[in-house]
């Protein structure tokens, strides 16, 4: 149908088989809806090879009703395009929408976090997803060259904060002012900026001295 005022009285048709007069036959024909939206009614005769199929008065003509609607796709083309956390395209005159749970980039749904090494921690938190022994909270032998617990440190004797950083004023206990290769003043000590130190055995002589002083005071009484 070219327009709402289309006035042709005949339209070409095809039939499945020759049908004798008075019998029921099947035929097919095509129409094209107008570009403008709206409802269009058409009356016409069908003809084949110059023989009129409907040659009776106009009231017996074939009538069809065509409804032309707006394109559902709008300006969306056949290629996928991102729309926030989804992507869309026009397929067969219909708008096709697909959600992208991990986001969309350049018309392609992004891959979500994966756990390739099967350690129960995906790539959003696992600093080495190719090693099942590396994950947040894993045992982390110090100074082996592997940050097994993903805290950003692999040194011995380091006290880290909640974010894995070394707080200001804390000495890692490795090296000294006199000898940088010295592992520390005393095993098990932790030096704080300002000069204070605490150790597992360094307080023993002081405790003995206090005990002797207390016994002497009691004897004098």
At residue 160 the predicted structure's pLDDT band, cuts being 50, 70 and 90, is: low
End-to-end alpha-carbon separation of the chain, Å? 126
The domain locations on the chain are 10-68, 71-112, 113-157
Please name which of 184, 208, 210 lies closest in space to residue 197, comparing C-alpha atoms: 184
At residue 12 the predicted structure's pLDDT band, cuts being 50, 70 and 90, is: low
Which of 18-27, 91-100, 114-123, 180-189 has the weakest average pLDDT? 180-189
The mean predicted confidence, pLDDT, of the chain is 69
Q: What's the burial of 162, exposed, middle or buried (CB within 10 Å: 0-12/13-18/19+)?
A: exposed
pLDDT at 61 (0 to 100) = 64
Residue range 158-181: average pLDDT?
Answer: 53
pLDDT at 137 (0 to 100) = 87
Task: Tell me if residue 215 falls in helix, strand or coil.
Answer: helix
Which of 86-95, 108-117, 122-131, 175-184 has the weakest average pLDDT? 175-184
Residue range 149-165: average pLDDT?
Answer: 69
At residue 165 the predicted structure's pLDDT band, cuts being 50, 70 and 90, is: low
Better pLDDT: 3 or 183: 183
């Amino acid at each position: 149908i070219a327009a709402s005022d289309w006035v042709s009285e005949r339209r070409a048709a095809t039939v499945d088989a020759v049908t004798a007069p008075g019998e029921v036959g099947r035929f097919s024909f095509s129409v094209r809806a107008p570009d403008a939206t709206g409802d269009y009614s058409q009356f016409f005769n069908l003809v084949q090879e110059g023989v009129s199929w409907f040659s009776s008065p106009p009231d017996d003509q074939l009538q069809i009703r065509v409804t032309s609607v707006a394109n559902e796709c709008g300006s969306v083309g056949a290629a996928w395009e991102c729309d926030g956390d989804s992507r869309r395209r026009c397929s067969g005159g219909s708008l096709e929408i697909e959600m992208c749970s991990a986001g969309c980039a350049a018309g392609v749904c992004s891959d979500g976090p994966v756990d390739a090494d099967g350690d129960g921690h995906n790539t959003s938190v696992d600093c080495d997803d190719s090693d099942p022994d590396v994950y947040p909270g894993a045992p982390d032998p110090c100074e082996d060259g592997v940050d097994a617990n993903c805290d950003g440190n692999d040194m011995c004797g380091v006290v880290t904060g909640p974010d894995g950083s070394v707080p200001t004023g804390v000495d890692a206990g490795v090296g000294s002012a006199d000898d940088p290769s010295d592992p520390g003043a005393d095993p098990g000590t932790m030096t704080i900026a300002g000069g204070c130190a605490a150790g597992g055995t360094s307080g023993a002589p002081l405790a003995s001295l206090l005990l002797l002083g207390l016994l002497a005071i009691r004897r004098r009484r």
